[in-house]
A and B are shown apart, each in its own frame.
Chain A
């Protein structure tokens, strides 16, 4: 067992898979000697050399396009977008090629690549370094979009993402990169993709969240417990494809659901989950499904960002509201 923060778990997962699979290479800006601006690739270049941990020219579309070409030719590139705010030049290559390669060639070629990007607010970063735009990728057929919420899940899910035969967008909530340390076994064991994780059992309300908001969601569940309210907490983890079954099963038990995400509300993944509940669990609901999300405004700079990011208070208010009506 080793005690690690999430960013170290990310690093361990890449190291494990690079050691066991020669076709895995890490590429990006400053991922080499510098070990990445968040140190997520720290030590990899020293261990595996500059032919496996490749500093690229400063061109995001290039990084994604090279990964499409490399993965179609039998390699498994794990590329890094330094911040999600710089991911957009990559989007054309991901949407127009990586997500479609297997389908349009009827299985002849595929893109087993991982696009890693730190995302989300709360670290007092400059403009365009704090957005949560995971829904953009979740909307694209052919992509997996995976978001860890703890060191153990970062380790297991990233291993699974690298091993997956299809492209995975792996978004790392940087607010919790170093928040907690967790004991993990660095044994190469992955966790399943495409399933939600039930982090806490409960009977009165289901709290559904992912990424950094799991922190406030679990804190809320603790506070609710002191008031005799039993909250079930679900970490969605893979936001696409979405495991609605686990969420529906929980809501059929609790009859109430609140979806919490940092991203803006409009067309966020919360909307898809709410629609899925309306479709399949409406008769189990005792109260309206609520969303506690970022506002539909430009992500504010550091002085205002913690007002944008939903806090425990907003989650508790939403729970109180739906308990009042039912």
Chain B
């Protein structure tokens, strides 16, 4: 008989059921922190309204390709709101809610997706990474940031997320290895929204969970209901605190669902069953939290209407600001290639100014 020399389990956490009721009395303090929960709810709703407007801007030719965050609000707001300003966040391209929590502004987000790099020069924490397009490569940037914090003895944490598709990539697995080898203050979140463009979760691999990839690399790893803001925030707080106090990295798989197309350039009807999407709307995060808050008597229709109006005004103002931003100038294309621009580039700048009018 072989001896068992290692075994593992993955714990799954959910506090708020799909219908908005608490599953048990064993809940974190956030479950009855009505001020904080309302604040999170406002952020989730505002993000959704912003997101809808951003899609509309693309559809009307006023913005470039955009990746909607519809359905991911609990996961994103939990990540962004659990961090401290001095921590470091490495987004991909969908986590608008997390970035808004961090202090990146709506016009800055629109500016980048509208095709102007100046959006990356955002007013959120100046050390946060900008949007990352090559899948999973950001995992190593966050690990590198965490290594810098650790080497300098700073009590700071890096937070990064990857999708279910991205969890198949080497950079994600190498970040797990780095975090494990160097005991890094890092939180690696897998936002498993079931679809990597047209490829379903089942085609990434046959593992029961994606969280267990963290176990393989030596990191404590859990799975949470990614549409349950209480579970997502609790997991983030716990992992961030652990990382900040020298306990190393954690992998958190958040189970959610991408309720719309991958990006505005995609048409999910080509590959996805409409019924599956309808079913997913029954477990989505915003309505779930609202149901909970309403049942507890801390939220009502009047507050909802006021929120919708306030968020609508905020988004409209942001759009107005975005649309009134100046186009980038040709000379600026040559700025910031290097701290000191080489002579040949200066010559090309002069040439471009003649050629591009």
Chain A residues at the B interface, C-beta cutoff of 8 Å: 25, 51, 56-57, 59, 61-62, 64-75, 89, 92-93, 96-97, 102-110, 141-142, 144, 165-166, 194, 241-242, 244-245
Q: Which of A51, A62, A70, A244 contacts B177 (CB 8 A)?
A: A62
Q: How many A-B residue pairs have CB under 8 A?
A: 135
Contact assessment for B118 and A106 in the assembled complex, using a CB-CB cutoff below 8 Å: yes
* A-B interface, 7 closest residue pairs, ranked by CB to CB distance from nearest: A69-B144, A65-B140, A69-B141, A62-B174, A241-B342, A106-B121, A66-B144
> With the chains together, A74 CA to B137 CA distance in Å?
19
Residue of A nearest to B341 (CB): A241
Chain B positions 139 through 152: 1 when the CB is less than 8 Å from some CB of chain A, otherwise 0: 11111111111011
- Which of B124-132, B200-208, B253-261 is found at the contact surface with chain A? B124-132
Contact assessment for B175 and A245 in the assembled complex, using a CB-CB cutoff below 8 Å: no
Q: Which of A51, A96, A165, A245 contacts B343 (CB 8 A)?
A: A245
Contact assessment for A102 and B147 in the assembled complex, using a CB-CB cutoff below 8 Å: no
B103-122 residues at the A interface, CB under 8 angstroms? 117-118, 120-122
Contact assessment for B141 and A68 in the assembled complex, using a CB-CB cutoff below 8 Å: yes
Contacts of B338 in A (CB 8 A): 102, 142, 144, 165-166
Contacts of B170 in A (CB 8 A): 59, 61, 89
Residue of B nearest to A51 (CB): B151
Query: When A66-B140, A106-B118 are in contact, do A59 and B148 touch as well, CB less than 8 Å?
Result: no
Smallest CB–CB gap between A321 and chain B, Å?
Answer: 30
Chain B residues at the A interface, C-beta cutoff of 8 Å: 88, 90, 117-118, 120-122, 126-127, 129-130, 133-134, 137, 139-149, 151-152, 158, 170-171, 174-175, 177-178, 181, 335-339, 342-345
Please report whether the interface of chain B is mostly helix, strand, loop or mixed according to DSSP. Answer: helix
Contact assessment for A73 and B178 in the assembled complex, using a CB-CB cutoff below 8 Å: no
Contact assessment for B130 and A105 in the assembled complex, using a CB-CB cutoff below 8 Å: yes
Contact assessment for A73 and B143 in the assembled complex, using a CB-CB cutoff below 8 Å: no
> With the chains together, A242 CA to B347 CA distance in Å?
13
Q: Which of B130, B137, B175, B344 contacts A241 (CB 8 A)?
A: B344
> With the chains together, A67 CA to B147 CA distance in Å?
10
Query: When A66-B147, A67-B144, A69-B141 are in contact, do A106 and B177 touch as well, CB less than 8 Å?
Result: no
Contacts of A93 in B (CB 8 A): 137, 140
Smallest CB–CB gap between A246 and chain B, Å?
Answer: 11
Contact assessment for B149 and A73 in the assembled complex, using a CB-CB cutoff below 8 Å: yes
Contacts of B149 in A (CB 8 A): 73
Q: List 5 A-B contacts (CB under 8 A).
A: A73-B148, A103-B335, A105-B117, A106-B336, A108-B126
Contacts of A102 in B (CB 8 A): 336-339
Contact assessment for B145 and A69 in the assembled complex, using a CB-CB cutoff below 8 Å: yes
Contacts of A62 in B (CB 8 A): 140, 143, 171, 174-175, 177-178
Q: Which of A65, A73, A141 contacts B127 (CB 8 A)?
A: A73
Smallest CB–CB gap between A101 and chain B, Å?
Answer: 8
> With the chains together, A263 CA to B157 CA distance in Å?
44
Contact assessment for A73 and B145 in the assembled complex, using a CB-CB cutoff below 8 Å: yes
Q: Using A69-B145, A166-B339 as known contacts, list a sample of 9 further A-B pairs with CB atoms less than 8 Å apart, ordered by residue number in A.
A: A66-B147, A68-B141, A69-B140, A69-B158, A72-B145, A73-B88, A102-B338, A105-B130, A165-B338
Contact assessment for A61 and B171 in the assembled complex, using a CB-CB cutoff below 8 Å: yes
> With the chains together, A102 CA to B345 CA distance in Å?
15
Q: Which of A59, A66, A72 contacts B129 (CB 8 A)?
A: A72
Q: Which of A70, A103, A144, A242 contacts B147 (CB 8 A)?
A: A70
Contact assessment for A70 and B118 in the assembled complex, using a CB-CB cutoff below 8 Å: no
Contact assessment for A70 and B148 in the assembled complex, using a CB-CB cutoff below 8 Å: yes
Smallest CB–CB gap between B146 and chain A, Å?
Answer: 8
Contacts of B139 in A (CB 8 A): 65
Q: Which of B133, B140, B148, B181 contacts A75 (CB 8 A)?
A: B148
Smallest CB–CB gap between B306 and chain A, Å?
Answer: 36
Contact assessment for B126 and A69 in the assembled complex, using a CB-CB cutoff below 8 Å: no
Contacts of A56 in B (CB 8 A): 178, 181
Residue of B nearest to A77 (CB): B144
Smallest CB–CB gap between B209 and chain A, Å?
Answer: 23
> With the chains together, A107 CA to B344 CA distance in Å?
20
Smallest CB–CB gap between B284 and chain A, Å?
Answer: 33
> With the chains together, A103 CA to B336 CA distance in Å?
5
Residue of A nearest to B154 (CB): A73
Contacts of A142 in B (CB 8 A): 337-338
Contact assessment for B141 and A65 in the assembled complex, using a CB-CB cutoff below 8 Å: yes
Contacts of B142 in A (CB 8 A): 69
Contacts of B146 in A (CB 8 A): 69
Q: Which of A69, A89, A104 contacts B148 (CB 8 A)?
A: A69
> With the chains together, A69 CA to B90 CA distance in Å?
10
Contacts of B178 in A (CB 8 A): 56-57, 59, 62, 66
Smallest CB–CB gap between B107 and chain A, Å?
Answer: 15
Smallest CB–CB gap between A318 and chain B, Å?
Answer: 27
Contacts of B137 in A (CB 8 A): 65, 92-93, 96-97
> With the chains together, A78 CA to B139 CA distance in Å?
20
Contact assessment for B121 and A241 in the assembled complex, using a CB-CB cutoff below 8 Å: no
> With the chains together, A144 CA to B145 CA distance in Å?
23
Contact assessment for B342 and A105 in the assembled complex, using a CB-CB cutoff below 8 Å: no
Contact assessment for A70 and B342 in the assembled complex, using a CB-CB cutoff below 8 Å: no
Residue of B nearest to A97 (CB): B137
Smallest CB–CB gap between A78 and chain B, Å?
Answer: 14
Query: When A56-B178, A69-B145 are in contact, do A106 and B335 touch as well, CB less than 8 Å?
Result: yes
Give the one of A93, A110, A141, A144 with max B CB within 10 A: A93
Contacts of A57 in B (CB 8 A): 174, 177-178, 181
Residue of B nearest to A144 (CB): B338
> With the chains together, A247 CA to B336 CA distance in Å?
27
Q: Which of B117, B120, B134, B148 contacts A96 (CB 8 A)?
A: B134
> With the chains together, A104 CA to B134 CA distance in Å?
14
Contacts of B90 in A (CB 8 A): 69
Residue of B nearest to A25 (CB): B151
Q: Which of B118, B133, B144, B171 contacts A72 (CB 8 A)?
A: B144
